[in-house]
Amino acid sequence: MSRRRSPRSSPKSASRWAASPRSASSPTASSRCPASRLRDGRRGPILAADPLGECGELNHVEQARLDDILHAGGIVLPPGAAIEVDGGDPVLPARFPIAEVAAVALAACGAAAADLWAQRTGVRQTARVDVRAAAASLLGFAFIRVAGEPRARINESNPTVALYECGDGRWIHLHGGFPHLRQGTLDVLGCDNTAESIAAAVRSWNAGALEDALTARGMCGAMARTAEEWASHPQGQALAGLPAIDVIKIGESDPEPLTSDQRPVAGVRVLDLTRVLAGPACGRALAEHGAGVLHVTSPNLPTIEAFDIETGHGKRSAHLDLDAADGADRLRALLADADVFVDGYRHGALARRGFGVDDVVAMRPGIVHVAINCYGHVGPWRARPGWEQLAQTVTGIAAAQGAPERPQLVPAAACDYTTGYLAAYGTMIALARRAREGGSWLVRASLCQTAMWIERLGATCDPAAATGVGDASDLLMHTDTPFGDVTHLRPATQLPATTPRWDLPTVPLGAHAPAWADD
């Protein structure tokens, strides 16, 4: 698969790699999965050539590469599932194989959708993803055009969203990505909103002390660490034994078989309480396989329109104020008829409003509760607010992309989007388990768990060798929306029997009443 030269890599560029994984008793595992036999008799995963005969024999190194990526994430595909991935990294100028990882996450998501379809119809299909399309998906917001014009992103010229060197020579990434975070960050620093003023103020701090001061004020910032430093940090240690995605049974209830045979996730109602990128990408991925997704957000929260447009495909969108009694009551009524509840806020934020995981399960036994945050759901940092840039910075990705003395971000939202794909995969795994055995389920994903998955594969890519996405016209589509004609990426996953698609156009936040489409 890989275009790199390494002891585990083929010197030639592979056109396709594929796998048909083994059965497993649980959907994820933090240790290596049980091995079965390769066709040559050695121990390893069951791997198959292209069932359509388009590619001929597969190279063993390519097979091993796919196995490595799945194992590194602790990902076990549904029994009988098959995935294929075309191409390899580096596509984007990153030192890590971020497009390959995203492609595997997307393919796993497709395999989970295919498994739900097979449960309903008995028809199996292979999920295919092109690494170039996966790479583009990690920059999906950058491809958005409305009436041919790009949509500005509010943080492109925001000096409070950047890496700065502190007085002790360490670096910190500030993130004042919303107005209140920007002002709060400036208040902590006691400076003006210019890069020069911020840089001077940051140089008066040690990085660790500034990280603590920002946290104490509820602001966002992370000191740059190496992977080794993160591994010895209490939060890194708390996440070290976890897979990239957790799927856990947390309650008992009757089985709920999926009955519609229209699409893999048709008939499933998803309450999408998320914002920015990772959580909304999860809901969008479920919508492209047929789920009925209702995105619910507060009219009082700041937003980033380019992100909202990019992740809103296939969804209805409603406003509810959960700090008002009528808003909370309406959400409870919606929850009673939901199958999936996606919480993309910092740990505890919805619980304080009566919608924590225990509350949700009590109100709707059999729910699939999906929790997505930055720093993970265990450990001392689980309640800290965070962003893509902070996950890269704190886990060591930025130090490896640049250097410890001058960290640099990977040029894509690799943690955000890949986490969303993983969360959708885990959601569909949980729906399949609920259909067979019943129960309430908890799916947990975080940007830092995804970052650690990427890191486990090594900084083995040469950014100078990146091929780039190139002319993306074959990856784009046009949709008539309330915003106007929107140019955007089409779904990256291919399924031959149930083509992924969005049945609804992206809409402005709050465009619909807080009700299910068929109510």
Query: Residue 110: which domain range?
Result: 16-140
What pLDDT digit, counting tens, does each position of 163-190 carry? Answer: 999 999 999 999 999 999 999 999 999 9
In a domain, 292, yes or no: yes
pLDDT of residue 38: 22
What pLDDT digit, counting tens, does each position of 399-408 carry? Answer: 999 999 999 9
Task: Tell how strand 161-165 and strand 171-175 pair up.
Answer: antiparallel
417 shares a domain with 274 = yes
Which ranges of 150-194 would DSSP assign to H, the alpha helix?
A: 179-189
Q: 109-143 in b/e burial notation, b at 16+ Cβ within 10 A?
A: bbbbbbbbbbbbeeeebbbbbbbbbbbbbbbbbbb
pLDDT of residue 118: 94
In a domain, 271, yes or no: yes
435 shares a domain with 297 = yes
d(Cα 498, Cα 284) in Å, to the nearest integer?
A: 16
Percent of the chain with pLDDT over 90: 83
In a domain, 235, yes or no: no
447 token code pair? 């940007």
pLDDT of residue 438: 98
Residue where a domain terminates, one of 120, 140, 160: 140
Composition of the chain by helix, strand, coil, percent to 5: 35, 20, 45
In a domain, 4, yes or no: no
Q: Is 31 exposed, middle or buried (0-12, 13-18, 19+ CB in 10 A)?
A: exposed
Q: Measured in whole angstroms, how far is the alpha carbon of residue 293 from the centre of its chain? A: 17
Which ranges of 190-226 would DSSP assign to H, the alpha helix?
A: 195-202, 207-216
pLDDT of residue 155: 65
d(Cα 418, Cα 278) in Å, to the nearest integer?
A: 8
d(Cα 392, Cα 398) in Å, to the nearest integer?
A: 6
Residue where a domain terminates, one of 140, 158, 183: 140
248 shares a domain with 136 = no
For residue 370, the domain's CATH number is 3.40.50.10540
In a domain, 6, yes or no: no
d(Cα 360, Cα 446) in Å, to the nearest integer?
A: 20
261 shares a domain with 119 = no
What pLDDT digit, counting tens, does each position of 36-61 carry? Answer: 222 222 222 222 222 222 333 333 33
In a domain, 420, yes or no: yes
330 token code pair? 């309406």
Do 99 and 135 contact (CB within 8 A), yes or no?
yes
In 268-385, beta strands by DSSP E: 269-273, 292-297, 315-319, 340-343, 368-373
pLDDT of residue 64: 74
Transcribe 448-489 into DSSP letters: HHHHHHHHHT-S---GGG-------GGGEEEEEETTEEEEEE
290 shares a domain with 422 = yes
In a domain, 119, yes or no: yes
423 shares a domain with 297 = yes
d(Cα 207, Cα 189) in Å, to the nearest integer?
A: 12
In a domain, 91, yes or no: yes
- Considering its fold, how many domains does the chain have in total? 2
Residue where a domain terminates, one of 101, 123, 140: 140
Do 428 and 239 contact (CB within 8 A), yes or no?
no
365 shares a domain with 475 = yes
pLDDT of residue 14: 37
Residue of 269, 264, 267, 316 lying closest to 295 (CA atoms): 316
Give residue for tokens 């130090």: 399
Q: Which residues pair with 293 in a beta bridge?
A: 270, 315
**DSSP code of residue 28:** B
Q: Going residue by residue through the chain (519 aa), what tens digit of pLDDT does each one get?
A: 533 323 233 323 334 555 543 333 333 333 222 222 222 222 222 222 222 223 333 333 366 788 889 999 999 899 988 899 999 999 999 999 999 999 999 999 999 999 999 998 999 999 999 999 999 999 999 999 999 999 876 667 899 999 999 999 999 999 999 999 999 999 999 999 999 999 999 999 999 999 999 999 999 999 999 999 999 999 999 999 999 999 999 999 999 998 877 899 999 999 999 999 999 999 999 999 999 999 999 999 999 999 999 999 999 999 999 999 999 999 999 999 999 999 999 999 999 999 999 999 999 999 999 999 999 999 999 999 999 999 999 999 999 999 999 999 999 999 999 999 999 999 999 999 999 999 999 999 999 999 999 999 999 999 999 999 999 999 999 999 999 999 999 999 999 999 999 999 999 999 999 999 987
